[in-house]
Amino acid sequence: MAMTFTLNNGVTMPALGFGVFQTPPDETVAAVETALRTGYRHIDTAAAYGNERQVGEAVRRSGLARSEIFLETKIWISDYGYDATLHAFDKSAGKLGVEQIDLLILHQALPGRFELTVDAYRALETLLGDGRVRAIGVSNFMREHLDKLRKETSVVPAVNQIEIHPYFTQPDVLAADAEHGILSQAWSPIGGITFYRDSGHTSTLEDATIARIAQEHGKSPAQVMLRWGMQHGRSLIPKSTNPQRIAENFDVFDFELTTEELAAIDALDTGVRGGPDPEAVTLETFGLNIPEA
Ligand code: NDP
């Protein structure tokens, strides 16, 4: 199993990253330091998470060279627009304390204001051209958003970060990503969103099929879900603040699921998303002030 991905512009990204959504700022330094000690070299944060500063602090405290760590962050919708998004880069880079961001993505499409989304993406293209970011991409983009973006911009997104776990696999978006040469990156790769969202299904951690497969391999349900995503060729960014689980989620390189096991997990898809409907995201309902650095 490859330990890295080569993105569509040649940049290398670690296969398994570390997420910090809902990690409180006062726990983020410890969580990220633990992750870096464990061996993770890719951190996924976002302007909207309010913890970029702490991610940057952990990177500095780790003693690792900046070039050894792949930093990904996201522009929030409130900062869309060409100039606003250029400035949003300064805010994120300032908080992270870095000159260059490895992967900068748009957090959501704004379907009702797609021209703003396009302007934001054009700013990412400028930042890429200037070398201030090494790769650019999107998140929560559906097939039609990718199609519309492609018509108006020139750089194909390197990644599309979307909700993917055994209960929601979005085959149509995965196919659209593949058609465009975009790497699909799974958020909630162990189904975190199913733990607290009432989507008509229970937590993926309590799934009987996943539990059976986990038992057969002497691994945990979380490890089986990560291995499943990995063998499907997806980028993964599991989140934890617990040192034991941070280590557990990284210990997924020493076993292999069979074709039958992969298919059994694929069959768990309910078609019901846990996160917000990407079509319903508007500035009015999801707007958020992103502070200056
Ligand atoms: P995950 O699938 O990573 O699950 C996280 C949850 O699982 C937490 O409650 C965590 O609790 C728990 N957990 C972690 N490891 C284990 C384990 N081994 N066994 C049992 N429970 C475990 O969900 P997230 O929603 O956090 O998604 C991961 C990342 O994806 C985010 O952190 C963020 O970076 C990104 N994301 C992006 C979104 C977007 O719109 N682009 C939306 C949502 C997430 P504990 O911390 O206590 O271990």
Query: What's the pLDDT score for residue 194?
Result: 86
- Give, using CA atoms, the residue closest to atom 24 of ligand 1: 188
Pick from 32, 71, 108, 240 the residue to mutate for probing ligand 1's pocket: most ligand atoms within 8 Å of its CB. 240
> Could you please report the per-residue DSSP string of 123-172?
HHHHHHHTTSEEEEEEES--HHHHHHHHHH-SSPPSEEEEE-BTTB--HH
Residue 148 belongs to a domain:
yes
Residue 257 belongs to a domain:
yes
pLDDT in tens, the chain (293 residues): 568 999 999 999 999 999 999 999 999 999 999 999 999 999 999 999 999 999 999 999 999 999 999 999 999 999 999 999 999 999 999 999 999 999 999 999 999 999 999 999 999 999 999 999 999 999 999 999 999 999 999 999 999 999 999 999 999 999 999 999 999 999 999 999 988 766 666 899 999 999 999 999 999 999 999 999 999 999 999 999 999 999 999 999 999 999 999 999 999 999 999 999 999 999 999 999 999 99
Pick from 38, 77, 190 the residue to mutate for probing ligand 1's pocket: most ligand atoms within 8 Å of its CB. 190
Residue 290 belongs to a domain:
no
Pick from 239, 244, 252 the residue to mutate for probing ligand 1's pocket: most ligand atoms within 8 Å of its CB. 239
State yes or no: is 49 an active-site residue.
yes
Give Cβ neighbours of residue 151 (< 8 Å, ≥ 6 apart). Answer: none
Domain that residue 48 falls in: 12-273
Residue 155 belongs to a domain:
yes
- C-alpha 192 to ligand 1 mean position (Å): 5
- Give, using CA atoms, the residue closest to atom 25 of ligand 1: 188
Residue 4 belongs to a domain:
no
Residue 127 belongs to a domain:
yes
Residue 185 Cβ < 6 Å to ligand 1: no
- C-alpha 32 to ligand 1 mean position (Å): 14
The answer to whether residues 149 and 143 touch, using CB atoms and an 8 Å cutoff, is no
Please state, in angstroms and rounded to a whole number, the distance separating the CA atoms of residues 79 and 88.
6
Tokens standing for residue 94: 């300032």
Q: CA end-to-end span of the chain, whole Å?
A: 39
CA 126 to chain centre: 22
Number of domains the chain is built from: 1
Q: What is the DSSP letter of 16?
A: B
Residue 193 Cβ < 6 Å to ligand 1: yes
Residue 2 belongs to a domain:
no
Query: What's the pLDDT score for residue 195?
Result: 85
Residue 248 belongs to a domain:
yes
- C-alpha 147 to ligand 1 mean position (Å): 29
Residue 248 Cβ < 6 Å to ligand 1: yes
CATH number, residue 47: 3.20.20.100
Q: What is the DSSP letter of 115?
A: H
For residue 286, give the H/E element and its range: helix 283-286
- Give, using CA atoms, the residue closest to atom 7 of ligand 1: 192
- C-alpha 241 to ligand 1 mean position (Å): 9
